[in-house]
A and B are shown apart, each in its own frame.
Chain A
Amino acid sequence: MGATERLPPGLPNGTVDLLILKSLAGGTRHGYAIAQYIRASSGDALELGESSLYTALQRLLLNGWVVDEWGASHNNRRARYYTLTAAGRKHLAAQTREFDYVVTAIQRVLRTV
């Protein structure tokens, strides 16, 4: 049974990390909320599977871009919340710039006749 993960193949490396960091830029969220945010804000175009989401979160923890904390969810259940660190914020800014640059460059190429 394959996961219904809706991510176009061939995304540049680190795109998932970038999306997660962006979703945390607005404030602390737990894993499910991150997945929802990405689905909603992409207009249901992007959907993260469990494996990609949580592997990426572990990677972000390892790099010190996010920190985690257990807390109570809105329906009063134990949930693990992630918060962006200063280093994470810096990384997000840098990656966003780079992503913009690459995407713009690609678009330019594609629009030439």
Chain B
Amino acid sequence: MRFLRRLAYLLHRRRREQDLADEIAFHRELATEEHRAAGLAPEEAWRATNRQLGNTTLAREAAHQVWVPAALQGLVQDIHYAWRGLSRSKTLLAVACLSLGLSTGFGTALFSVVNAVILQPVSAQRPDALVRFWIGNGNRISWLNLRDLCDDTPGIACAGYRVDELPWQHGDDSARLFGQVVSVHYFTLLGVEATQGHVFTVDSVRQARDTVVATHAFWERQLGRDPHVIGRTLVLGGHPYTVIGVLPRGFRSIWGLGIAPSLYLPAGSAARPPTTRRADSEYELLGALAPGQSLAEFRSKVAARGEALRRLDPQQNQDFNRVQTFPFHTLGLFLSADDRMLQIILLFASVIVVLVFLLAVVACVNVAGLLVARAVARQREFAVRISIGCGRWRLARLLLAESLLLATAGVGLGAMASIWLARALVAVPLPFPVPFEAEVPLDLHLLAYLATLVGLATLVVGIAPVLQAFRVSVVGGTGSAPRAVGHRRWSARGVLIAVQVAASTILLVATTLFVRSLWVASRIDPGFDIAHVVTVEADTQSRQLTAAETSSFYRAAIDRLKGAPNVSAVSGAAIVPLSMDSIVHGVQIERGGRDQAMVNSNWILPDYFRVMGIPFRSGRDFTQSDLQAKPLAVIVNETFARSVFPGRSALGQRLRRPGPKGQEEPWVEIVGVVADSRYLTLGEDTRPQVYWPFGPQLGKITLHVRTEDDATALAAVLGEGLTGVDPRVHLRVRPLQAVMAVALFPAQAAAVVLAALGVVGWALTIAGVYGLVAYTVTRRIPEIGVRVALGAPPWSVMRLLLRDGLVIAVVGVAAGLVVAAWTTPFLSALLAGVSPRDTTSFCLVAAALVLTALVASYGPARRGIRLSPTEALRSE
């Protein structure tokens, strides 16, 4: 309340002061009247009143101070004064703002991008309650099972989903969309409502099946913010779909990392019609624990329902009473599926925060150096102030006010730059077709972070000049004593620069290590040859080719491709590794060390390993005769062979997909063992993998083409050779590298970010060292004059000046290296393939920084030796 009244006073200050003046005037009139009534003459009465009541101005000031306490008034005065002082040295202001702005701007932008892309939870009312689960022997279940499991089963809240690329025809154009096919309960499970229209409900899908829910971004960018979007028709995969809803802005998909499918379609709609086989692998499952429900209860409910489904169709729903649950991380599926990835990403985020902090330190020390120099130059002024009665604390307060102003201006500038930079960064189109959406929040966290930064910067920047001020001697400072010619290398400013060089050293060592490690990581051998493969995907779906037509299209296409120039081999596979697509299921082993194993599967054509450059460890490739509806031969990878048949040869062993008793699938013989390769992510541990031959019918397949030349060049021309095969089919030809861009992107992005951090740190160091030497030269002008006058040759003066910067730089670098060597081992978890005390990185940084110091010193030093002795001596 008092605060509010104070505020009201300040807002109406002029009127309140007038009130008081009027009131006092009234008081005096009455007093005068009283004196007159007592018999005094008018003049006399007036004088008596004034004598009695005293000084009006004093009264007014006393009243004013009731409302505005002296301390506050002093602060306002300080800031006002500091501003006047600073605005006179514009260069200092500009350099400080730039230095602080650059570091905080860049740092804050990174912080917000990391925050926006990684650290936002998926959109769900209770993300903690979500759980991933598998039922039966695989990670996916069929449409029929999905319906029977998730529709109207008491005690089980679950939904199915699968990612899907869909052709969208608008006008004459056809674009591929990244969509997600979900079961009816999906949005109810998440607890998400649409902002326009509505999401899928049991009723809405029953009434109209071919409907679609769009994301806000899709509505904004692709549909041009159409105000009448609800009810609009989109042609997807050749079928008309009606838009029924638009999701809220900033909706985070369950994938996390800002990955955002553009459209959601109901499972069983025209583009993804209901399948009739219960054994089909189609949808992955997401469950939600009801409030109060334990994971065990949920699992047993699902198992009971699974048992019913198994009894319904024992052959196809084998092992359906078996349920596995996996934790769902609130940051999204990508981080749930891969612990290592989660660890890496979170560590990466914390490393960014640490590096950004170091960068801020470097910048603050830079500005502190400038202020110390200023304080030294102002010694005379300080001395005068002190000698006429300014307390040292008051002087300190004044200097801190200057630092506060500088810090606020710098950080404010940085904050504005960062918002712009972060939005620009997030909007950079990604090198792969996965839609990506991240809101850069301008929230309290960010503001608190900025405020802390201002506070820290003020202290760090301000403390050194204050110490300097306390050392001012009144006698020496006012100039009545002779000034000493000479110079201390380890003045406050020298120490600051050494600290700055040390901080830069640590920053640069850390970033160099990371860039090197990411470089190594991005070159982690995926186990196959990325550079020489082109993939061909065909949209046979939009024009609704029959299964037979599709199959014959692919066969004809393969023949054409084999005859194309620069092509050395052609094959095909159901799944392109590292492209977000995966199929996991169980297999039975005939006489193995274990009788069950979970494997990653892929279906391939002969020559696949030749095309991909995956070497055979033993055995043979598939041949045309292996392509049968019931396969008789499979190929496994080394990890499978080693883990299932330890110490034995896997060749000749037999396995099969599980089936009910009496109706088992036939045993299939392992005919080949190939080297390991990555399947879902680059960072994963290699998993057991089984390659099955395609059947005689070719359905969902991506053709793989090998060239010994450049894949990108081949991709550009390969499409033309295929146009004649079937004019109805829309083709997409891309180098394998482009398909895998998703998997390669994080390492590349991280390397760019860290390199940029390093460059900014470096630039600040150069500025700091340059400033130091320039300043030293100015301070030593008289000394240089004396030396030159006494006959010192220019090179010796040059050496003298360079040595200053160099000694400080070497000490700083040495200290930095020691601290870095001590701290970097803590980062070893993040440094794949690089030792945390990697000698090359350390030497490189040390050499680079010392060289930087030399170069930065050279400019000012040259100015020093060009001084004429008379000029130099006159300045004293």
* Cross-interface CB contact of A80 among B5, B22, B31, cutoff 8 Å: B22
Query: Quick check: A31 and B63 within 8 Å, CB to CB?
Result: no
- Sorted from nearest, which 4 A-B pairs have the closest CB atoms? A3-B54, A51-B59, A58-B66, A55-B62
Query: Quick check: A3 and B52 within 8 Å, CB to CB?
Result: yes
Would you list 5 pairs from A and B whose C-beta atoms are within 8 A, ordered by A residue? A32-B31, A50-B27, A51-B55, A62-B66, A80-B19
Q: Which A residues are in CB contact (< 8 Å) with B31?
A: 32
Q: Mark A41-82, 1 if CB is under 8 A from B, else 0.
A: 000000001110011001101111000001001000111100
Q: Which B residues are in CB contact (< 8 Å) with A98?
A: none
Query: Quick check: B23 and A31 within 8 Å, CB to CB?
Result: yes
> With the chains together, A95 CA to B157 CA distance in Å?
67
Q: Which A residues are in CB contact (< 8 Å) with B53?
A: 3, 49-50
> With the chains together, A61 CA to B27 CA distance in Å?
18
Given known contacts A59-B66, A63-B2, A64-B5, A54 and B23 CB-to-CB distance under 8 angstroms: yes
> With the chains together, A90 CA to B811 CA distance in Å?
69
B33 closest partner in A (C-beta): A75
Contact residues of A between 1 and 23, Cβ < 8 Å to B: 1-5
Query: Quick check: B66 and A49 within 8 Å, CB to CB?
Result: no
Q: Mark B215-237, 1 if CB is under 8 A from A, else 0.
A: 00000000000000000000000
Q: Does B20 contact A (CB under 8 A)?
A: yes
> With the chains together, A49 CA to B54 CA distance in Å?
7
* Cross-interface CB contact of B66 among A5, A55, A64, A77, cutoff 8 Å: A55
Query: Quick check: B54 and A1 within 8 Å, CB to CB?
Result: yes
> With the chains together, A31 CA to B5 CA distance in Å?
21
Q: Which A residues are in CB contact (< 8 Å) with B63?
A: 54-55, 58
Q: B interface vs A, CB < 8 Å? A: 1-2, 5-6, 9, 19-20, 22-24, 26-27, 29-31, 50-56, 58-59, 62-63, 66-67
> With the chains together, A78 CA to B50 CA distance in Å?
21
Q: Which A residues are in CB contact (< 8 Å) with B51?
A: 1, 4
Q: Does A89 contact B (CB under 8 A)?
A: no
The smallest C-beta distance from A51 to any residue of chain B, in angstroms, reads: 4
> With the chains together, A50 CA to B50 CA distance in Å?
10
Query: Quick check: A79 and B58 within 8 Å, CB to CB?
Result: no
Query: Quick check: B26 and A77 within 8 Å, CB to CB?
Result: yes
Q: Which B residues are in CB contact (< 8 Å) with A54?
A: 20, 23-24, 59, 62-63
Given known contacts A1-B54, A62-B2, A62-B5, A30 and B59 CB-to-CB distance under 8 angstroms: no
> With the chains together, A49 CA to B55 CA distance in Å?
10
Additional A-B contact list (9), CB under 8 Å, known A62-B5, A80-B19:
A1-B50, A3-B52, A4-B51, A31-B27, A32-B30, A54-B20, A55-B62, A55-B63, A61-B5
Q: Which B residues are in CB contact (< 8 Å) with A64?
A: 1-2, 5
| Residue among B9, B31, B50, B52 with most chain A CB within 10 A | B52
* Cross-interface CB contact of A4 among B2, B5, B52, cutoff 8 Å: B52
B26 closest partner in A (C-beta): A79
Q: Which A residues are in CB contact (< 8 Å) with B50?
A: 1
> With the chains together, A32 CA to B53 CA distance in Å?
12
Contact-residue size bin, chain A (C-beta under 8 Å from the other chain): 20 to 34
Q: A interface vs B, CB < 8 Å? A: 1-5, 30-32, 35, 49-51, 54-55, 58-59, 61-64, 70, 73, 77-80
Q: Which B residues are in CB contact (< 8 Å) with A61?
A: 5
Given known contacts A4-B51, A54-B20, A62-B66, A32 and B5 CB-to-CB distance under 8 angstroms: no
Given known contacts A50-B54, A50-B56, A64-B5, A32 and B62 CB-to-CB distance under 8 angstroms: no
* Cross-interface CB contact of B54 among A30, A32, A51, A79, cutoff 8 Å: A51
Query: Quick check: A55 and B59 within 8 Å, CB to CB?
Result: yes
> With the chains together, A73 CA to B63 CA distance in Å?
23
> With the chains together, A62 CA to B55 CA distance in Å?
23
Given known contacts A55-B59, A62-B5, A78 and B54 CB-to-CB distance under 8 angstroms: no
Query: Quick check: A78 and B26 within 8 Å, CB to CB?
Result: yes
* Cross-interface CB contact of A5 among B1, B30, B54, cutoff 8 Å: B54
Given known contacts A3-B53, A55-B59, A55-B63, A50 and B24 CB-to-CB distance under 8 angstroms: yes
A57 closest partner in B (C-beta): B63
> With the chains together, A55 CA to B66 CA distance in Å?
7
* Cross-interface CB contact of A58 among B2, B22, B67, cutoff 8 Å: B67
> With the chains together, A79 CA to B25 CA distance in Å?
10
Q: Which A residues are in CB contact (< 8 Å) with B1?
A: 64
> With the chains together, A105 CA to B67 CA distance in Å?
35
> With the chains together, A92 CA to B52 CA distance in Å?
28
A68 closest partner in B (C-beta): B19
> With the chains together, A103 CA to B19 CA distance in Å?
37
Q: Which B residues are in CB contact (< 8 Å) with A2?
A: 54
| Residue among A1, A35, A50, A77 with most chain B CB within 10 A | A50
| Residue among A31, A51, A77, A78 with most chain B CB within 10 A | A51
Q: Which A residues are in CB contact (< 8 Å) with B56?
A: 50
Given known contacts A58-B63, A62-B2, A32 and B27 CB-to-CB distance under 8 angstroms: yes
Q: Which B residues are in CB contact (< 8 Å) with A5?
A: 54
Q: Which B residues are in CB contact (< 8 Å) with A73?
A: 26
The smallest C-beta distance from B279 to any residue of chain A, in angstroms, reads: 79
B6 closest partner in A (C-beta): A62
> With the chains together, A79 CA to B1 CA distance in Å?
26
> With the chains together, A73 CA to B33 CA distance in Å?
14
The smallest C-beta distance from A67 to any residue of chain B, in angstroms, reads: 11
The smallest C-beta distance from B473 to any residue of chain A, in angstroms, reads: 42
The smallest C-beta distance from A73 to any residue of chain B, in angstroms, reads: 8
> With the chains together, A33 CA to B468 CA distance in Å?
57
The smallest C-beta distance from B31 to any residue of chain A, in angstroms, reads: 7
> With the chains together, A5 CA to B54 CA distance in Å?
9
Query: Quick check: A51 and B62 within 8 Å, CB to CB?
Result: yes
> With the chains together, A49 CA to B49 CA distance in Å?
11
Q: Which A residues are in CB contact (< 8 Å) with B67?
A: 58, 62
Q: Which A residues are in CB contact (< 8 Å) with B6?
A: 62
Q: Which B residues are in CB contact (< 8 Å) with A1?
A: 50-51, 54-55
Q: Which B residues are in CB contact (< 8 Å) with A51?
A: 54-55, 58-59, 62
Q: Which B residues are in CB contact (< 8 Å) with A30?
A: 23, 26
The smallest C-beta distance from B855 to any residue of chain A, in angstroms, reads: 62
Q: Which B residues are in CB contact (< 8 Å) with A32?
A: 26-27, 30-31
> With the chains together, A78 CA to B18 CA distance in Å?
13
| Residue among A2, A30, A32, A35 with most chain B CB within 10 A | A32
> With the chains together, A63 CA to B67 CA distance in Å?
10
B50 closest partner in A (C-beta): A1
> With the chains together, A35 CA to B66 CA distance in Å?
20
> With the chains together, A7 CA to B799 CA distance in Å?
76
Given known contacts A50-B56, A51-B59, A78 and B22 CB-to-CB distance under 8 angstroms: yes
> With the chains together, A62 CA to B6 CA distance in Å?
7
Query: Quick check: B59 and A50 within 8 Å, CB to CB?
Result: yes
The smallest C-beta distance from A74 to any residue of chain B, in angstroms, reads: 10
B63 closest partner in A (C-beta): A58
Q: Which A residues are in CB contact (< 8 Å) with B66?
A: 55, 58-59, 62
> With the chains together, A83 CA to B52 CA distance in Å?
26
Q: Which A residues are in CB contact (< 8 Å) with B59?
A: 50-51, 54-55
The smallest C-beta distance from B537 to any residue of chain A, in angstroms, reads: 76
A33 closest partner in B (C-beta): B30
Q: Which B residues are in CB contact (< 8 Å) with A3?
A: 52-55
The smallest C-beta distance from B107 to any residue of chain A, in angstroms, reads: 43
> With the chains together, A58 CA to B8 CA distance in Å?
13
Query: Quick check: A80 and B23 within 8 Å, CB to CB?
Result: yes
> With the chains together, A32 CA to B50 CA distance in Å?
14
The smallest C-beta distance from B14 to any residue of chain A, in angstroms, reads: 15
Q: Which A residues are in CB contact (< 8 Å) with B26?
A: 30-32, 73, 77-80
The smallest C-beta distance from B58 to any residue of chain A, in angstroms, reads: 6
Q: Which B residues are in CB contact (< 8 Å) with A55?
A: 59, 62-63, 66
The smallest C-beta distance from B65 to any residue of chain A, in angstroms, reads: 8
Q: Which B residues are in CB contact (< 8 Å) with A4?
A: 51-52
The smallest C-beta distance from B16 to any residue of chain A, in angstroms, reads: 9
The smallest C-beta distance from B52 to any residue of chain A, in angstroms, reads: 5
The smallest C-beta distance from B756 to any residue of chain A, in angstroms, reads: 53
Q: Which B residues are in CB contact (< 8 Å) with A79?
A: 23, 26
The smallest C-beta distance from A72 to any residue of chain B, in angstroms, reads: 11
